[in-house]
A and B are shown apart, each in its own frame.
Chain A
Amino acid sequence: MTALTATVPSPARQHGLAANLRNIASIAWRSLVQIKHNPMELLDLSVQPVMFLLLFTFMFGGQMSGSPQEYLQYALAGLIVQNSVFTALNTAVGLHSDVAKGVYDRFRSLPIARPVPLIGRILADMVKQVWAVALMLVLGLIIGFDLNGGIGGALASLALLLVFTLAMAWLNVLLGLVAGSEEKVMMFGFTIAMPLSFTSSAFVRTDTLPSALQFWAEKINPVTAIADSVRGLLDGTPVGHSVIVTLVWAAGLVVVFFPLAMRAYRAKLS
């Protein structure tokens, strides 16, 4: 019978930048390795984007733009953006479930810096974003998307998407912490994400919209800015204005929701 506590090795220091980075990596590893045991998440992360891409291209493409090919060229960016917005909800759902199931209590009883579990989760969710974007891009290329912007354009659009989803993460952290149940997280998240992504330039040209809606879609809805940016970057066309609008939105989201999210995170303590 081995001793329960006698054989314990002496641990490394648990403070300092190196320790924090290592702990963040451990938490991120945990989020990613979960996928292995959770087929639903794989479905969410891989099957759903593929399905939407194929459905939109081949079902709507002909009627929307004359041919699936033509429509794919327009809508791929929108589909990627929409998928990113929905994938970002994972942060809220996962965080809520960790808090509800006591996993966060376990983390918080360990000698690691308090923000580490949160940062680790967000990092893992960014990795998932990269995976989904890459998957959709590659599939898009296979079914005939012309990447006129080249690898550079693809990487730039990925970077912009990551900046934007990182900014959205704080909204999702807040949502995950304050919502009463996992269902409410999902419901609230969808209620925002669904209309936001559809009332934008993600799937249709905004010039066909009724004027009020057009105003909303072009001048206010941030999804239009990010979709136009990604589209332009993938297509190799000038994108200056929409990229700036996207970055301003990202900064705004951080300024508003980062403090609120951190306050809610700390409040879970008392």
Chain B
Amino acid sequence: MTRHTEHAVWAEGLTKSFKETKALTGVDLAVRTGTVHGVLGPNGAGKTTAVRILTTLLRADAGRALVGGFDVATESARIRAQIGLTGQYASVDEMLTGFENLLLIGRLLGFTRPQAKTRAGELLERFDLSHAADRAAKTFSGGMRRRLDLAASLVGGPRILFLDEPTTGLDPHARNELWAIVRELVAEGVTVLLTTQYLEEADQLADEIAVIDHGRVIATGAPEELKSKVGGQVLYVRAERGTDVGVVKGLLAEVAGREVTAEGEGLTVPVTDTKVMPAAALRLEQAGIEVAEFSLRRPSLDEVFLTLTGAPAQPVEVPA
């Protein structure tokens, strides 16, 4: 059997049910070593369940998964020695100080006391928590807890890091910091699997994205590939007068033959035919509508996501 060493994480046909809830109905994943893999999905899609299976916290009902070349079902100890996990909810010990939390983990990883202390100090410093090193974690803000939690998952210098919705609940500044840390880790050769509900986050960080919905992967690819999968581009039109929106909407729908959606103050419609753009411009002109913005762009991941998950139950076959 091949050890799939080119893939830090590899899974095939993972299923998991909780009583009658089918959390995973067949998840395949292939995360190349040294890359960031984004698992993107809405609430209840099965992201956490997948992460818990891959980190050996939960046993799959069926399917196979290798992490770092080891089988989650039979070699969990080997896997746990080389992964880090930051769960969706911060799992710091509230009654311990920041320093004690990291010290404990260092000790449980097999470091000597001095080694564990040094490592704890380094990480507190690096995560800007030195000032709170001797305060019980229950006094930490949400952002500080997340940082401590992330630091805790890095104590052992993991080669593969799992981050379950690492930026949920963080302010934009803290989120940018976390992104910077993820990039830094990748530069050091760490493989990162992160789940997120934020398309922007996947777009920013991930080399490859797996979109997951209702417990299965419905699309995979690099962010750019996913965007083009949805088909061509998107026409964005914003009328000068808000009262014209209704007319513009009808007009675009007619010209493009696709559903028009509101976005901010404007409207978007997917276009696959290059003739749509001049036709739309002409019709708007004829209708005497003053156009403030008229642009063609690639779809945002949000649009990709809506297109992909808007039609559940079947795997997407998006027209190219």
> Does B237 lie at the interface of the complex (its beta carbon under 8 Å from any beta carbon of A)?
no
Within 8 A of A (CB), among B121-180: 122, 125-126, 136, 138, 152, 154-158
| Chain B min CB distance to A55 (Å) | 29
Is there a chain A Cβ closer than 8 Å to B238's Cβ? no
A2-B126, A3-B188, A111-B109 known; A106 vs B77 contact (CB < 8 Å): no
Q: Is the CB of A109 within 8 A of B80?
A: yes
Interface size on A, residues (CB 8 A): 38
Q: Which residues of A contact B126 (CB under 8 A)?
A: 1-2, 4
Residue of A nearest to B127 (CB): A4
List of B residues within 8 angstroms of A11 by Cβ? 109-111, 156
Given known contacts A2-B125, A7-B122, A109-B85, is B95 in contact with A13 (CB within 8 Å)? no
| Of A4, A26, A105, A270, the contact of B107 (CB 8 Å cutoff) | A26
**Chain A positions within 8 Å of B277 at CB level:** none
| Alpha-carbon distance A33/B81, docked complex (angstroms) | 26
Which of B58, B77, B94, B154 contacts A270, CB < 8 Å? B58
Asked if B100 lies at the interface with its beta carbon under 8 angstroms from chain A, I say yes
CB pair B100–A33 under 8 Å, yes or no, is yes
A33, B96: Cβ atoms under 8 Å? yes
Which one of A3, A102, A112 contacts B89 once the chains associate, using CB atoms below 8 Å?
A102
Nearest CB of chain B from residue A105's CB, rounded to whole Å:
6
Say what secondary structure dominates the interface of chain A. Answer: loop
Closest beta carbon of chain A to B162's beta carbon, Å: 9
Given the contacts A4-B181, A37-B97, A111-B77, A269 and B109 also touching, CB distance less than 8 Å: no
Q: Give me 29 A-to-B residue pairs in the complex whose CB atoms sit less than 8 angstroms apart, sorted by A's number.
A: A4-B181, A5-B154, A5-B190, A7-B119, A8-B155, A9-B115, A9-B118, A9-B119, A11-B109, A12-B111, A14-B81, A14-B110, A22-B107, A23-B108, A27-B108, A34-B96, A38-B95, A38-B136, A101-B89, A101-B91, A102-B89, A102-B91, A103-B91, A105-B85, A105-B87, A106-B91, A109-B80, A109-B85, A270-B58
